[in-house]
Amino acid sequence: MQHIEVNKLVDEAKFNRFHAKVLAWCLLVIIIDGYDIAVAGAALPSIMKEMGVDASTAGFMTSSALFGMMFGAIFLGALSDKIGRRWTISICVLLFSIFTAAAGLTHDPVTFSVMRFIAGLGLGGVMPNIVAQMTEYSPQRIRSFMTTVMFSGYAVGGILAAALGKQFIAEFGWQVVFFAAGVPVLLIPIILKTMPESLSFLMARQDAQQLHRVVRQIDPRIETHPDDQFHALHQGNSAGAPAAELFQDGRGVSTFMFWIAFFTGLFMIYALSTWLTKLMAMSGYSLGSALSFVIALNLGAIVGAIGGGWLADRFHIKWVLVAMYALGAVYLYMMTFKLSTEVLYLVVGAVGACTTGAQLIAYAYCAQFYPMSIRSTGIGMASGIGRSGAIAAPMLIGLIVSLKLPLQHNFLVIGAAGLVGAVALACINHRRSASRQYVDTELNSASTERQELLDLPT
């Protein structure tokens, strides 16, 4: 019989086909999620024109999905601790695929908003579960990089929404991009069959058969036996009220700081993803050109997520994030200047890198901060409460647009959120993170072993 420490096994594993499969599935789900979130912003000018709504009403319509995402992130994020991540992710995909497609069948703002709210439940619920899944199965030395590569799929989904919108909305109407969102429902049986269950779920239930199989996939070199015992550092006890554990062991202030950072980060993202097309159209650009700025924004997000993830694995992830949030505010301020079109594309790309790209790294940091037993809950609460920023953004920018204030005011308001987020991230107590405590435990163990060797009689 051997005692297998699953945290250590995952941390020290070499990247293999199993990790590639987990990454591929998580990436695909995030691409679909990103598409469904961005599709309303891509179609917003056409929806406003066809339904005859003003900017403030349009802001409420787009925020309806974000209300759903807030509740979905909180409740479906924690649901996976009870029914497993495969089923939770499948339920989320079912919700946002069917009801985003159904929104394309609506003809009035109220019905559209209801469909988007229900779709938002799935969109919000899938995010914390996918982040937790990727974090649990990523080797430590490339954990931030793998998580942010996966999250780059969010920007890929945004690019797909803008590209399809640019190609088909003018000819076939805004509905076509919503109907396309229904196709991923066909993936649900494959997800249930091939996606591995979460380690925390298997450990909580001591599912020996599944644990043996997953452990051999994580590290094919290891030989398991029927009587092996599996353990997890910082597994904790998720029974009772796991949300309360977010404030235990000195994590209280940091939990609040994560909530503020997520609020401001999601405020910036959804202000831009919802209104950038309309704002650029109001600046005199055609629909096709305005959607090109959305593509530039999301290309920058991919560069920011992957590049920032690479930096986070080599430097301190917390301070990488602080710098990116602060730079996002600077680049948004630059958008208030009169710039050439070419320079403006570059600035918009930099904004995407330091807003969406930074937020994706913030998900990775949040996942690494909390212990395995409350990881989904921690990400879900931060994401759910942060959604209030995502909800406020389209409505606030819509109000500014309806008041016919100068366009520069929009970018100044969005940039101010980045500065607040940078301050909040700087206040997080990294010494209380699960990843730091795990390293400290390993160092203390190694130090004890060395001392025992020195104390041996010669």
> How many whole angstroms separate alpha carbon 289 and alpha carbon 29?
28
Cβ distance 229 to 352 under 8 Å? Answer: no
Check which CATH number belongs to the domain holding 54 and give it. 1.20.1250.20
Q: Which two tokens stand for residue 197?
A: 């269950």
In a domain, 236, yes or no: no
In a domain, 49, yes or no: yes
In a domain, 1, yes or no: no
Report which secondary-structure segment, H or E, holds 306.
Answer: helix 287-314
Q: Which two tokens stand for residue 81?
A: 């601790």
In a domain, 235, yes or no: no
> How many whole angstroms separate alpha carbon 75 and alpha carbon 314?
34
In a domain, 20, yes or no: yes
Considering its fold, how many domains does the chain have in total? 1
In a domain, 17, yes or no: yes
Neighbours of 119 (CB within 10 A): 30
Neighbours of 404 (CB within 10 A): 9
In a domain, 152, yes or no: yes
- pTM here is 0.70
Q: Which two tokens stand for residue 41?
A: 């912003």
Q: Which are the contacts of 247, defined by CB distance < 8 A and separation ≥ 6? A: 255
Cβ distance 138 to 81 under 8 Å? Answer: no
In a domain, 418, yes or no: yes
Amino acid in position 129 = N
Beta strands 3-5 and 229-231 are parallel
Handedness of CA 189, 200, 308, 140 (dihedral sign): negative
pLDDT of residue 442: 42
Give the domain extent around 295.
7-228+245-455
Tens place of pLDDT for every residue, the chain, 458 residues? Answer: 566 667 677 777 888 888 888 899 999 999 998 898 888 877 877 888 888 887 778 877 877 887 888 788 777 766 777 788 888 899 999 998 999 999 988 888 899 999 999 999 998 888 878 878 888 888 878 877 787 788 778 888 888 888 888 778 877 888 888 998 889 999 999 988 888 887 777 777 776 777 777 777 887 777 766 666 666 654 444 433 467 777 777 788 888 999 999 999 989 988 887 778 777 777 777 666 777 888 888 889 888 888 888 888 888 888 999 999 999 999 988 887 877 888 888 989 999 999 988 888 888 888 888 887 777 778 778 877 887 888 888 788 878 877 777 777 778 888 899 999 999 999 988 776 655 554 444 434 444 444 444 455 54
